[in-house]
Structure 1
């Protein structure tokens, strides 16, 4: 799995601070923008986070290239609706030699991995036979498994990313999307540390688990989260 931050709103923290300050300022937007030093940005954003006033975070967006993930992951990812996605199409791209994501539990068991790859090989052979018979790729793809690797571009605003982290950095999140969430978190903290100083699982950020009776009972510590950065 690889995650690369392709682009983001320039000066994201200044944008958020300006948008929030403008709501209460008699000055023009340009004056508010000019008056925000890095120190004032930090002070203002800290207040926004502490108050839970996060709507100004929606003014900045981050675009990522995500590769080497499974279709099982991408089906979960698009459940985060306030985002934009462009995914490699199995309708138009020939999957004659598709790569797969192997779950760690399978990879750790030689017998299980052998069985997993045996079935993948059968699917691959079946897909190739269908396309050789002239079946369109858009129909042959019905054989393809959730393990099939894909790549996509995702754009999400800062507020949606904070919500994404609160759910997907959780220990109970499915292993692959949890790994993706921590990688994305690493990327955004590099360019907007003030916006994402409280980014992480709900147990740490909100002080309580959001999973209710399904809690794992092992809340993250600050040291663990900092270790993921």
Structure 2
């Protein structure tokens, strides 16, 4: 798996500051003075803590995810407030490249798994060679087949995705992908990456039905 930040909003702190101040200032954005970075950070943190999250939508990040499984991307694209461009199995003849979970290796099923992958891709190739279009031959391909996808999310949605997918109970591959997305954001803006945490960190308790133990579950008793 490889995750790369290929684009993001220039000067994101300034953009967030102007968006936030516009809501409460009689001055137009073009006439506002830009304060120190530390003051901007305090304002953004205050806006976030108060739940005024629409301000965060003015900053976006675009990532390239390479060598991830179709099983993972099927989870990722459920986050609808984002834009996706994924490698097409209709127009691209797929290579025999798959993601293998560690559990399959550790439990002694890797050899059997590999044989099934070999058999599936052999049939896939034979069908194409015998005139079956890629768009039909792809029906045999497994969820493990690798894919590439470009993803654009605004900061508000990225925080939401991180809250769900950085949870220790999230599926391992998407958790790893989102962790790498956070790392890419941290390279360009450590302050904004600090908002990309599991929900329990922000809430102070675990909202899941079954907790991993990292945070206590919220008590429903009076």
- The verdict on a shared fold, with TM-score over 0.5 as the criterion, is yes
TM-score if structure 2 supplies the norm length?
A: 0.93
Counterpart Cα distance in 2 of 1:42 and 1:218: 28
After superposition, what is the alpha-carbon deviation per residue over 1:117-149, rounded to whole angstroms, capped at 9, x for unaligned? 000000011001100110000000000000000
Q: Does 1:5 align with 2:2?
A: no
Matches within 5 A, 1:21-170: 21-32=21-32, 34-95=33-94, 97-109=95-107, 111-170=108-167
Aligned length: 216
Assess if the C-alpha contact under 8 Å between 1:57 and 1:157 holds in 2.
yes
CA offset at residue 198 of structure 1? 2.9
2:185 aligned with 1:188:
yes
Give a deviation string over 1:181-219, Cα, whole Å, max 9, x none: 1111111122233333232111112111121x2222233
For the 8 Å contact 1:13–1:194, the answer to whether it is kept is no
For the 8 Å contact 2:14–2:34, the answer to whether it is kept is no
Structure 1 segments, 4+ long, off by >3 Å, are none
Q: Counterpart of 1:6 in 2: which secondary structure?
A: strand
Residue equivalent to 2:220? none
Q: SS of the residue aligned with 2:68?
A: strand
**What's the offset of the Cα at 1:114?**
0.2
Cα distance in 2, alignment partners of residues 148 and 210 from structure 1 = 33
- Counterpart residue number, 2:219: none
> Residues of 1 paired with 2:8 and 2:214: CA distance?
34
TM-score normalised by the chain length of structure 1: 0.90
Q: CA deviation at 1:68?
A: 1.0
**d(CA) in 2 for partners of 1:117, 1:123:** 10
Are the aligned partners of 1:84 and 1:156 in contact in 2 as well (CA < 8 Å)? yes
Aligned to 2:210: 214
Alignment partner of 1:90: what SS?
coil
Give distance in 2, aligned partners of 1:67 and 1:167.
Answer: 21
d(CA) in 1 for partners of 2:191, 2:25: 22
Return 5+ residue gaps in structure 2 as ranges.
Answer: 217-222
Q: CA–CA distance in 2 between the matches of 1:204 and 1:94?
A: 43
Match of 2:15 in 1: 15
